[in-house]
Every structure is written in C-alpha cells, then in structure tokens.
Amino acid sequence: MLGDTADKISESVSDSAIGRAFSAYDIENNDAVRSRIILFFSYLFSKLKLKNLQRKLMRGFSQSPLLSFIEYLKNRLLSSKMRQYGVMILSFGFYSFSMYLLGILSFPDYYKGSNISLGVSVLSLICSVPMLCSKKTLVECIFNSPFGFRFFNGVFGFRQENIYSEIKHKGKTTLSLVLGMLLGVSTFFVKTENMLFVIFLSILCLLVLASPEGGIVLLISFFPLCPEKLLLCFAFFIVFSYFFKIIRGKRTFKIELCDLSVIIYAAVILFGGIFSVRPTISFVNSLKLTVYMLLYFVCVNTIGSKKWISRVRTSFLFSLSLCLIVALAQSLALNSAHFLLEDNILTGTVISLFDSSDTLAFMIVICGFIPVSSFINAHNSLRRAFVLLIFSLELYCLYIINSPFAVLAFTVSVAVLLLIYSNRNIFLIILFAIMIPVSEYILPSSANQNITEFISYAKELLVSRISIWRSSLSMALDNFLGGIGKGVFPVLFPSYANEGDIAVQSPHNIYIKEIIETGIFGLLIFLIFLLLFFQSNRKVFRIKDRKIIPDTAVGLVGIIGILLCGFVYDVFSNDKIFLLFWLMISFNRATGRYNILRTREPVHNTNGGQFSCDV
C-alpha cells in the first residue's frame, strides 16, 4: 500500500507543470533542431563545409612554424634516449651540489638551500647512474616497465600509441650537459627540490601534450595540493593540448543543447570582463574562469567508456581522501595539543588543504557521494571497507566544521539520492522529518546542547547575510543589465554597504553576485543551463536498470548540494571549488550520455544526437 502511494505521488509530480519542465529535454532538443536559427546555422555550416575547414586548419598547422615546432619538440623529447636525460640529471646534481657547498661556505646569507637541497642533489647523482646505462627511450622506459605502465596507463590513462614514436633520436650530449648545468646553477637562487619538481613537471607536460586525457585525471587527483596559479597554468595547458589535437584531426569535439548553453555562458563571462567598469581587474578573473569552464568540454568528450569513468571516479575519491586525511590529522593535532600545524592550531580551525573550513565543507558537499558510487562498483571487501572509512571521515569532518548550511545542503542531497533510487524512500524521508521535533526527548542532553548551539549559530549567520543581501541588491539594481565584471565587487561595494559591511568581499549569494557581475542576462543564461542540466539528468533516471546510474546520480546530488550552499555562501569565490563544480558537472554529463547509450534507446541528446556539432 505504501509503495502504491509513493508511485502515485511520483506520477502526480511528474505530470505536474514542474515535472514536465524538468523532463522536456528531448522536446526542446527537437524544437532547437527545427528552429530557424539552427536551420540557418546548419545551412551556413553546410556552405562552409566543416570537413574542408578542418583540412584547411590541418594544412595551416603543417605550415605554421610555431605549431610545427611544438610538435617536433614533443616528439624529439619523448623519443630521446634515456642516457640524454641521465646526462642532464648528472649535470644538474653535480652543479646543484657545487652551489650548495658554495652557498654554505661563502654566501650563507644569500643562499636559499637547506639540508633537503643537499639530499636532492645526492639523490639526483645516484639516479643518473641507471639512466646513463639505459639504451631505451623515455617512452619505452615509462611504458615497458610494469610499474610505469600500470601507473601512467592504468591509473592516469596515458596511451602509449599516442606517445610512441618509432624514430629514436640520439640527441646531443653537450646540449643535455649545458641544460643540466644551467638548472643546477639556478639552485643558488631557487631551492633544489623546486627545480627538480620543475623538471618532473616538464616531463608530465610532454605526456599531457601527447595524451591530454591523462592530464584530466592528474588534475582531479592533485588539485587540492596545487597553488592556484599552478592549477590555472596546468588547466590551460590541458585545454591547449586537447585543441591542439583537434586541429591536427586526432580528436573530436561534440556539442549538444546543454553544452551550447555553457559556451554562451562562458562568452558572457569573457566579454563581460572586457567591457566592464574595471576591465583591468575583471578581464583577468573572467579569463581564468573561462579556462576552467573550457575543461568541461575536454572532460565531456574524454569520459566515454567504462574504463575512463572508473579512472575519473577514482581520481575524485583520491583527492577527497587526501583532503579528509589531512583534516583528520589537523583535528587530532587540535584535540591532543600536538603542534603539528602551528597556523591551524592558533586559529583553532580544521581547513585541510584549503584556505578556510567552509571551502573544505564545499569540497565534501560536491564530492561527498563519490564514495557511494565507489562502494557500489567495488569488487572486493577491502575496497568497500576503505570507502566506508572515507564516508565516515566525511561525516566526522562535517560535524567538526562549523558550517551549518553546508550540513543542511548535504542532508538534502542525501534525500535526493534516496529518491533517485526509489520513490518509496519518500516515506523514510518523511519519517526522518517527523522525528526531528521529538529528537530532544530521545537524544542525550549533550547532543541536544550541540544541536541548539548549531541552530543558534545558523540564525546569527543568516541575519548577517540578510544585511549584506540588502546592500548587494541595491548594487545589483544599479548594474541590472550589463553587470560590473568578475572580481570588481570588493572595489565598488563599500559605497553601497551598510554599517558593518565594509569589509565584505562578496554578497554571500552566488545568484545575487551573478546579477551584479554579469547582469540579468548572465543570470538567465546560467539558470537556463541549470534547467537543461537537470532535464538531461531526468532522462537518465528514467532508465529502469538502477545499477548503471550511480555515477550520474552522485554527480547530480553533489551539484544540487553546492547550488543550495550558494544561497548563503559565495561558493565560487574559491577557484578550486569553481573548477571542481564544472569538473563534477562534466562527469555527470559524460556518465549520463554513456548510460543512455548503453540502454540503446533512440535518443537525441547524446554525442551522436541530432543536435550535435562534430569538429
């Protein structure tokens, strides 16, 4: 009886105006295909003949000195003998060791190194010996060794066929020797370990240039550790590498209706940064956000198989685990008075690898349900136990972080996930809601006291937010049409602020901030994208086989959670969270397309659909 009632409720909601609005993606897609605008562009593209345009681009690539040099340099470095790299590392180790002795003995006040620098120099000298004895190329050493093949190909997805070259360059020993010398001498001014990291990063960039898909997995796995400038540069390099492959005709670029809204939204942000009240400030911020949004298209066109979905899921789980383990260490340091992390001990907060505890909470809200998908797809008990441990750490971190609305958003996401898998879970949610008023009679007094303090803090936070929203809305009305540009809010807000709001750097509401920065048109385009995004997910969740949709479901509930947080927090003020938002959306879209293709339904909203543009 309860099951029939739940099904009737679900059918009533689906048949309502709201339900039809979120399940009309195919209709809108077909209307878009038949619209005059699309027909005009289709006619225009047929006249332009995209294949001919692609051939012209490839011909231009072959004749471009810069792009030809990049391709030649990539092939030359990847197919060079390992002994050339051994000569460079030997020279680097020798000269960095010499700089260490020179700095310690003669210029102790100017030398930047330490005992770690000495260890890195000695380690470089030792590692150069087997490299000098090797007769293989760099690519052969990476992919012919069991560890290298499993690490670079199995984990990160670098494909040997994209990198391997039959031409083996002997290289010039003198050039390697001089390059190692220059790098070694520079360690007098730069730490030796940093210079060695630059060498390692350069080799990784060569692999990414040859196979940009592996760069996506690397980026997701280690983005919490990266400084924002390094993260931006690496993201731009991945985008450049992928479009570099498109120009050469070795990758495809497919666009559908939802993706088109992302392109328009990115264009609004970019041009809004150029034509703003403070273009010197807004252009840099707009360009940075546009680069992160371009990664969406790289991910959507990359994640197209079960193996790639598994790789990306694992990379999300790894980055989340890394943040939670560091947060646990900080919490233990606070509780046990061991000063492992002095800055965090003094402030008394757990921030993990981010700049604030709220940012850690946002990370958990977006990626917090990845362990659920990993648990479902795990093949042995040990992995499932590890995933359960990670999920327990999430709940613990949300408990110790004083971020009430993030906890509320996470709770709503749990409810949505339960409803996705079964309509009958609505009674479980209703039962939980009924238990809230009577919880004070069931829970111990200490727990009730914590809940009371939690609610009191949430009320105080909401009152302070309302004061800021009033001032921000006045600012939004004055810039209703065109906006002021990204990153300009802190400059202009003091003239609109009430007393006590002068130091505010954002309106603490992403929707109000969107009106202020990009105008009403920017907000409308963003909302249209979200509508199309939810519509495309609705189609996936109509699939009867519940076992094939966990990745799409966890991506959706993570996005819903962070959008709810956006009503009270400026979740996109942190570049890492903005990047993570678009990466999770791309993961959801890619897995959704894959699930629909697996069911072999006649759909129009996939990469092979009617409304798609193959480049």
Per the model's pLDDT, the better-predicted residue between 524 and 338 turns out to be 524
Mean pLDDT confidence for 192-219? 86
At residue 339, the pLDDT reads: 43
Mean pLDDT confidence for 433-445? 65
At residue 266, the pLDDT reads: 92
pLDDT band at 303 (very low <50, low <70, confident <90, very high): confident
Per the model's pLDDT, the better-predicted residue between 23 and 332 turns out to be 332
What sign has the CA pseudo-torsion 175, 236, 591, 609? negative
At residue 63, the pLDDT reads: 60
If you search the block for the tokens 């709001």, which residue do you land on?
501
Token reading at 527: 């909302």
- Cβ 288 vs Cβ 190: under 8 Å: no
pLDDT band at 613 (very low <50, low <70, confident <90, very high): very low
In whole angstroms, what is the distance from residue 153 CA to residue 311 CA?
10
pLDDT band at 109 (very low <50, low <70, confident <90, very high): low
Chain mean pLDDT for the chain: 78
Please write the tens of the pLDDT for every residue from 281-300. 889 899 999 999 999 999 99
Token reading at 582: 């678009």
Token reading at 212: 């940009």
81 DSSP β-pair partners: 137
Token reading at 525: 């385009």
Token reading at 320: 């989340």
At residue 195, the pLDDT reads: 84
- Cβ 486 vs Cβ 269: under 8 Å: yes
Mean pLDDT confidence for 7-13? 51
pLDDT band at 207 (very low <50, low <70, confident <90, very high): confident
At residue 500, the pLDDT reads: 59
Phi and psi at residue 496, to the nearest 5°? -105, -10
Gyration radius of the chain's alpha carbons: 27
185-206 burial: b if 16+ Cβ within 10 Å, else e: ebbbeebbbebbeebeeeebbb
Write the single-letter amino acid at 464: S
pLDDT at 596 over 70: yes
At residue 603, the pLDDT reads: 39
137 DSSP β-pair partners: 81
Per the model's pLDDT, the better-predicted residue between 211 and 386 turns out to be 386
What sign has the CA pseudo-torsion 587, 588, 591, 597? negative
Please write the tens of the pLDDT for every residue from 311-327. 999 999 999 999 999 99
pLDDT at 24 over 70: no
Write the single-letter amino acid at 127: C
Phi and psi at residue 471, to the nearest 5°? -65, -40
If you search the block for the tokens 């990845």, which residue do you land on?
370
How far is CA 133 from each of CA 39, 129, 264, rounded to the nearest angstrom? 63, 7, 54
- Cβ 185 vs Cβ 242: under 8 Å: no
Phi and psi at residue 81, to the nearest 5°? -65, 150
